[in-house]
Structure 1
Amino acid sequence: MDRRDLLAAGLAGTLLAPAARAQAPDGPIKPDASFNLWLGEAPGLTNAALDDHILARSQDPAFPDRAMDRIRTPRLDVFRAATPNGAAMLIIPGGGYSRVVLDKEGYEIAPWLAARGITAFVLFYRLPGQGWRDRMDTPLADAQRAMRLIRARAAEFRIDAKRVGAMGFSAGGHLCASLATAHARKTYEAVDGADAIDPRPILAAPIYPVVSMDPAIAHGGSRSQLLGPGATAEDARRHSPEQNVTAATPPCFLLHAEDDETVPVDNGIRLRAALKAAGVPVETHIFEKGGHGFGWGRRTEGLPVHAWPKLFLAWAKAHSLVG
């Protein structure tokens, strides 16, 4: 799909009301609204030919599996809570930093949260290997900007700016963990008043996350896309969240499957150890089965890991996401 197709598909602008979305199960779920992160072009564009493009990976309309494999215009897609309780979550899908998946790690979990009063914002962030200056910090810049905009528009979306968390999957889990551990890092020049707002999430939930850039356990594709050729040991350390945990890191909820053959479970284990060493509250769930990229929904039915969103919600309530 090109940009016109995105608009025709309802992926920008004001869309379905929450009640209408809930009553239309056939076909891909659509968000309630969408807005761009940046005023005009995103900072650091070097590839003038780059466009926004969606790759459809499933032909089953009842089981969509789409990914954005080119992103020029990073944005947030909004799933409004029908009965807002003031909480909000920034949802960061994965895709190995070479794509951002829409459905299984974004449009499935976002309505689940919205149905429970939590307004969900799905982030489509720039991909570092697609011609951006400062490639290593480009995704983090989008995550920081997203948190700031959510808080700046809190009244519009009927949320409490203090109660905004972040959740990420796979490479999106790396970005979530980076936001948690490097929220204070300057990654771009301020463009408006929103950039004075603290982007630290109240809590973070990296789900089967890529964490370390240590080649011994790193997901090779994510490492290559994020760091690029010629990366130094210091580059790897700076972009390994487990090596940047401090007392200012928010409480974390970690989830992994023991049989994950794509991203070794040691990624989550190392992050947990660093959080414990820094005195940061952490809850960890390691399931026997689930593999990688299970998201939530039909892929996990019949497995104990299917219960993970409820486990997260109970933990999040204990950490003040939901009042």
Structure 2
Amino acid sequence: MKLDRRAALIAGLTLPLAAGAQTAPPGVSDKPAPAGLAEPVETIDLWPKDAPGRPATLPVEKIDQRSSDPLVADRSVSGIATPRLVAFRPRIANGASVLVMPGGGYSRIVIDHEGYDLARWLVARGFTAYVLFYRLPGEGWAAGPDVALADAQRAVRLIKTRAIRDGLDPGRVAAIGFSAGGHLCADLATRFAARTYDPVDPSDKLIARPTVAAPIYPVISMTLPVAHGGSREKLIGKHASATLEAAHSPDRNVTKETPPCFLVHAEDDGVVPVENSLLFRAALRAAGVPVETHLFTHGGHGFGIRKAAGKPAELWPELFLNWARTQGFA
């Protein structure tokens, strides 16, 4: 697509054209995808060279296929050494973009039911969707518990940069995250201005604040017993201090600058207690930040889109879009 340099200059940026081949999406194989669900092919590496703060030994990507049904993909990936966005583009774009952050307890990243499934749903409604494969905090990166946030901040900035180039609206970029990805989404919403990496190019002049944020059955608190133990251990360590817990609990970091938020949780979630969403909601309300909250009696954890089918919780994506319209996004 042609680069609109005039728009770039108006925005105060000089946009570089993509240099060289981008890293393939996680999980690409020679096996055919389920009928009607073509695998994505467009990726955007987050960093122009190596990701910052690389460990002495880089992690190696590993794919785990948890589905025994050849027509249903249920993959996860760990060992992200090259963090990247996987782009899904609609035939006719409505101008808005969505950053999707799947969960996985900060030990892996779910590819399909919290990533590609939602991206395809969004694309069918005119949104440009980007699934983020972020670095994991337990894999030796120098940024430690801020490494995934650094990738999320960089992702928002690149999405806004490419929106300027592609004729989309850089003022309409939503963030949606699930479980541990919901923690990352809430962390981004509350700490979008935190300096987690040194600027690498003009994109880093852009603010990393999303227009709206939707943490879905999110990990929020890092304080036990409300915290999800696995995510807490991977993010800040098993014996983290109260100070470190507070620094990485989004409910402790809400300000009036936090974007409007949309929360979804099931009351019977046996993995991440519903109190996580309630704590975040209370903090948002105390700061005067608009928040919409939907609590479902049944749904469990990790329902995404496909596992919510046939339950009241299956309505959450439509509820999100209806709410987002009231916030000037959709």
- TM-score clears 0.5: yes
* Aligned pairs (5 A) from 1:161-200: 161-200=170-209
Once the two structures are overlaid, the 10-residue window that deviates more, 56-65 or 271-280, is: 56-65
Letter in 1 for 2:160: R
1:300 is aligned to 308
Q: Percent of pairs identical after alignment?
A: 54
1:53 is aligned to 62
Letter in 2 for 1:319: Q
Separation in structure 1 between the aligned mates of residue 24 and residue 42 of structure 2, nearest angstrom? 17
* Aligned pairs (5 A) from 1:16-31: 26=35, 29-31=38-40
SS of the residue aligned with 1:154?
A: helix
Letter in 1 for 2:318: K
Indicate conservation of the 8 Å contact 1:227/1:235, yes or no.
Answer: yes
Alpha-carbon shift at residue 290 of structure 1 (Å): 0.3
Indicate conservation of the 8 Å contact 1:28/1:61, yes or no.
Answer: no
Letter in 1 for 2:143: D
Separation in structure 1 between the aligned mates of residue 256 and residue 25 of structure 2, nearest angstrom? 45
The alignment status of 1:278 with 2:287, answered yes or no, reads: yes
2:230 is aligned to 221
Letter in 2 for 1:212: S
Name which of 219, 231, 238 aligns with 1:210: 219
Separation in structure 2 between the aligned mates of residue 150 and residue 259 of structure 1, nearest angstrom? 35
* Aligned pairs (5 A) from 1:46-85: 46-85=55-94
Once the two structures are overlaid, the 10-residue window that deviates more, 62-71 or 51-60, is: 51-60
Alpha-carbon shift at residue 33 of structure 1 (Å): 1.0
SS of the residue aligned with 1:185?
A: coil
Distance 1:302 1:230, change over 3 A: closer
Indicate conservation of the 8 Å contact 1:28/1:62, yes or no.
Answer: no
Name which of 99, 117, 132 aligns with 1:123: 132
Separation in structure 2 between the aligned mates of residue 63 and residue 7 of structure 1, nearest angstrom? 14
Separation in structure 2 between the aligned mates of residue 247 and residue 121 of structure 1, nearest angstrom? 27
Letter in 2 for 1:199: A
SS of the residue aligned with 1:142?
A: helix
Separation in structure 2 between the aligned mates of residue 82 and residue 281 of structure 1, nearest angstrom? 32
SS of the residue aligned with 2:163?
A: coil
Separation in structure 2 between the aligned mates of residue 29 and residue 156 of structure 1, nearest angstrom? 26
The alignment status of 1:9 with 2:18, answered yes or no, reads: no
Distance 1:41 1:268, change over 3 A: same
Alpha-carbon shift at residue 9 of structure 1 (Å): 3.2
Separation in structure 1 between the aligned mates of residue 324 and residue 308 of structure 2, nearest angstrom? 21
Separation in structure 1 between the aligned mates of residue 114 and residue 96 of structure 2, nearest angstrom? 19
The alignment status of 1:138 with 2:147, answered yes or no, reads: yes
Separation in structure 2 between the aligned mates of residue 276 and residue 189 of structure 1, nearest angstrom? 33
1:239 is aligned to 248
Structure 2: segments with no counterpart, 5+ residues: 1-22
Separation in structure 1 between the aligned mates of residue 182 and residue 58 of structure 2, nearest angstrom? 29
SS of the residue aligned with 1:89?
A: strand
Structure 1: segments with no counterpart, 5+ residues: 11-23
SS of the residue aligned with 1:155?
A: helix
Once the two structures are overlaid, the 10-residue window that deviates more, 103-112 or 54-63, is: 54-63
Indicate conservation of the 8 Å contact 1:27/1:62, yes or no.
Answer: no
Alpha-carbon shift at residue 32 of structure 1 (Å): 4.6
Alpha-carbon shift at residue 320 of structure 1 (Å): 1.1
Separation in structure 1 between the aligned mates of residue 196 and residue 65 of structure 2, nearest angstrom? 32
The alignment status of 1:311 with 2:319, answered yes or no, reads: yes
| Alignment coverage as a number of residue pairs | 306
2:97 is aligned to 88
Distance 1:4 1:146, change over 3 A: closer
Q: RMSD across aligned C-alpha pairs, in angstroms? A: 1.8
Alpha-carbon shift at residue 28 of structure 1 (Å): 5.4
Letter in 1 for 2:222: M
Separation in structure 2 between the aligned mates of residue 73 and residue 167 of structure 1, nearest angstrom? 21
Give TM-score scaled by structure 2 length.
0.89
Indicate conservation of the 8 Å contact 2:232/2:238, yes or no.
Answer: no
- Which runs of structure 1 show a deviation greater than 2 angstroms over 4 or more consecutive aligned residues? 3-10, 155-158, 228-231
Give TM-score scaled by structure 1 length.
0.91
